[in-house]
Amino acid sequence: MARARILVIDDEAAIRDSLRMTLEYEGYEFVGAATGQEGLSLADREAPDLVLLDVKMPGMDGLEVLDRLRSMNETLPVVVISGHGTISTAVEATKKGAIDFIEKPFASDRVLVSLRNALDQGRLRDENRSLKKAVEVRHQMIGDSAGLKQVMAAVGRAAPTNATVLIHGESGVGKELVARTIHRNSLRSRERFVQVNCAAIPEELIESELFGHEKGSFTGATEKQVGKFEQADRGTIFLDEVGDMSAKTQAKVLRVLQEGEVERLGSARTIKVDVRVIAATNKNLEEEIEKGRFREDLYFRLAVIPIYVPSLRERPEDIPLLVRHYVDYFSRENNVRQKRIAQAAIDALQRYRWKGNVRELRNTVERLIIMTTGDTIDTSDLPEIVRSSSLAGGSTVGAAPGTDSSRAGTLREFKDSAERAYLVAKLRENGWNISKTAEIIDTPRSNLYKKLEQYQISQETDG
């Protein structure tokens, strides 16, 4: 490798000079800056391999410089030099992405060790960067609704612990994503995340899948199999669709949770396992318990930290963010030119009631990216069903004059939307004849007019 180029940003000339001597003696190329501003332009011009950055400087301070360096080049390694007793600043710098910090006054050896480590890490990071970035984007949780924020907060609380987590929510809301996010942010993140879909495995195979078996333990067991619990040792096991386990399997899983050990089928030997369990279900387990289909003791073991992931219909404000995210993502994924999406199309997608939740929305956007020939996705490109249901005036004035109780936050909002839906339905029934409608619903014509204005109802807005 060519000589590594180190940019030193420090307002003290004496420190710059001494670092220049040390670094050049060790064969590094030295670039010095006396202010944050100068440092930023040198970082841009000289493309250093690493930055040594003083925190306390007049003018633009080190933390701000660090922020800007990060936005210029997120992988440039930065080692922060902090004054004596400013350890809290150093901690903050590390949070902002500094790779190491050195306290003043420092010995040149300390600097050199830190540089070498940082450069090594930087190199490694460069190699992993594209790979990792792809993984991260794939596992990002998008959304800033109150509902999703609550989920994220719960994920944050659950992640560093070993507690069992039970994730509950409709199909396609992101339960698996939540489970993976917890694992990735846990102390076990370097160990395995083993997923078992309890609904997809036939009853007679699930036990051997979970706990393993010895060769010859049953007809067809021609080879020994290591169970998922053993595979997940030191890591996390994700029991997906846990509500679909048979009573017998439930009993065995409960035992693993209680004793921390498994037994392979056909073996009397118990094997200690250290596994964190995350479970998910779209069933209402309390109901299942009442019906005698799910063990209550297992439920309590699993639901140490319960996390409910709300349906997309309960958090429509997340839809525009998700749509934009997936437009970018699938444009890249499919190597098509980055497409844009018209605001009107986003609005229509936001009004649609996504029964299949994020998964359905995601699939719809992927199809749009592939099928739309132009650069911009417009309302006319949307699937018929999305277009027609969103034309119906925003609320669910479709086939049944129902109303969207999940979207109405307050009683007032609910009443309003119910009233609006009712009026539209009656007006339609009567061919938009106002006098006739007023008579039939037994309200003065003037009142009906007032309502039409209040709710902005007109025949034109009714698709």
Which residue(s) pair with 57 in the sheet?
Answer: none
Residue 143 CB, shortest distance to ligand ATP, in Å, is 5
Residue 207 CB, shortest distance to Mg ion, in Å, is 22
Which of 168, 362, 407, 420 lies at the binding interface for ligand ATP (CB under 6 A)? 362
Which of 60, 141, 271, 391 lies at the binding interface for ligand ATP (CB under 6 A)? 141
Which of 32, 143, 212, 227 lies at the binding interface for ligand ATP (CB under 6 A)? 143
| 176 binding Mg ion? (CB under 5 A) | yes
For residues 63 and 93, give the distance between their C-alpha atoms in angstroms, rounded to a whole number.
6
Q: Which stretch binds Mg ion (CB under 5 A): 171-179, 247-255, 294-302, 355-363?
A: 171-179
Site string (160-179) toward ligand ATP, x via CB under 6 A: ---------x-xxxxxxx--
For residues 459 and 53, give the distance between their C-alpha atoms in angstroms, rounded to a whole number.
66
Residue 240 CB, shortest distance to Mg ion, in Å, is 5
What does 164 interact with, of ligand ATP, Mg ion, none (CB < 5 to 8 A by kind)?
Answer: none
Site string (320-349) toward ligand ATP, x via CB under 6 A: --x---------------------------
Q: Return the number of the residue (195 or 267) whose C-beta is nearest ligand ATP.
A: 195
**Containing H/E element for 277?**
strand 276-281
- Which residues 66-125 are close enough to bind ligand ATP by CB under 6 A? none
| 282 binding ligand ATP? (CB under 6 A) | yes
Contacts of 265 (CB under 8 A, 6+ apart): 207, 208, 211, 212, 213, 214, 217, 218, 221
Residue 136 CB, shortest distance to ligand ATP, in Å, is 12
| 407 binding ligand ATP? (CB under 6 A) | no
What does 362 interact with, of Mg ion, ligand ATP, none (CB < 5 to 8 A by kind)?
Answer: ligand ATP
Residue 330 CB, shortest distance to ligand ATP, in Å, is 11
Instruction: Give yes or no for a contact between 144 and 317, defined as CB atoms under 8 angstroms apart.
Output: yes
Residue 176 CB, shortest distance to Mg ion, in Å, is 4
Distant-in-sequence contacts of 392-397, Cβ < 8 A, 24+ apart: 392/462, 392/463, 393/420, 393/424, 393/457, 393/461, 393/462, 393/463, 394/351, 395/420, 395/421, 396/353, 396/421, 397/421, 397/424, 397/425, 397/462
**Containing H/E element for 81?**
strand 78-82
Q: Could you tell me which of 332, 436, 349, 343 has the C-alpha nearest to residue 386?
A: 349
- Give the 3-state DSSP-derived string for 305-360, with helices as H, strands as E and coil as C: EEEECCCHHHCHHHHHHHHHHHHHHHHHHCCCCCCEECHHHHHHHHHCCCCCHHHH
372 φ, ψ (degrees, to nearest 5): -75, 125
Q: Return the number of the residue (176 or 318) whose C-beta is nearest Mg ion.
A: 176
What does 39 interact with, of Mg ion, ligand ATP, none (CB < 5 to 8 A by kind)?
Answer: none
Give Cα separations from 94 to 66, 290, 462 (angstroms).
Answer: 10, 51, 56
Which residue(s) pair with 276 in the sheet?
Answer: 236
What does 210 interact with, of ligand ATP, Mg ion, none (CB < 5 to 8 A by kind)?
Answer: none
97 φ, ψ (degrees, to nearest 5): 115, 5
| 170 binding Mg ion? (CB under 5 A) | no
Task: Summarize as ranges the residues that interact with Mg ion (CB under 5 A).
Answer: 176
Binding site for ligand ATP (CB under 6 A): 140-143, 169, 171-177, 282, 322, 358-359, 362
